[in-house]
Amino acid sequence: MLGPRPGERLLEIGPGTGLQSLHVAPQLGSEGRLDIVDIQQPMLDHVMRRADERSIGNIVPALADAHRLPYSDASFDAAYLVTALGEIPEPTQTLSELRRVLKPGGRLVVGEFFDRHQIRPAHLIAHADSAGLAVRKLIGPPFAYYALLQPRTIPGIERRPAAVPADPS
């Protein structure tokens, strides 16, 4: 769903131990780059140690908050979060910030799996809409899914954010 291509610049929020990072970065080739962001330096250090062990040199870590990403507008071809969005307070704010750093037509993949922090698909759709993103594809059951989001663009029309439904949990 992410479709990483050689030469692209991608962003991962909350890489954890690097399971996704170490799979995605090599697909970008020597001209591509994977930026990883986490609020915990030990997690970034762990990913970088594992990347070094595998001679993966195109991962660039940044200690930052997902609500204030240290990147210019339209910096990334794609971004992704796997089991991370539900761990971040105010998911709409995170999605808005990701929309800001995505290039026009950029892709955002959100992966969620059942745990106490999971964002259910209906809530993801509402948060995405409020952030100016549209869910283009959703695969998997509600408790373990991947969603492809892209910036919503309607020439000459700025949509107002939709209300986010209350989380029943």
Q: Which helix (H) or strand (E) holds 33?
A: strand 33-38
Which pLDDT score, from 0 to 100, does residue 163 have?
A: 42
The kind and range of the H/E element at 50 are helix 41-53
Measuring CA to CA, which residue among 128, 91, 144 is closest to residue 136? 128
What is the SS3 assignment for 78? strand
Give 81-95 pLDDT, tens digit per residue: 999 999 999 999 999
The first and second tokens of residue 139, run together, are: 């695969």
> How high is the mean pLDDT of the chain?
90
Compute how many other C-beta atoms are within 10 angstroms of the C-beta atom of residue 116. Answer: 7
Q: How far, in Å, CA of 134 to CA of 152, rounded?
A: 5
| Residues 125-157 as b or e (16 or more Cβ within 10 Å = b) | bbbbbbbbbbbeebeeeeeebbbbbbbbeeeee
Average pLDDT over residues 66-79: 97
How far apart CA 141 and CA 32 sit, in angstroms, is 32
pLDDT of the residue at 162:
41
- Write down the pLDDT at residue 124: 95
Q: How do residues 32-70 score in pLDDT, each as one tens digit?
A: 999 999 999 999 999 999 999 999 999 999 999 999 999
Question: pTM here?
Answer: 0.88
Residue bearing tokens 């050689």: 6
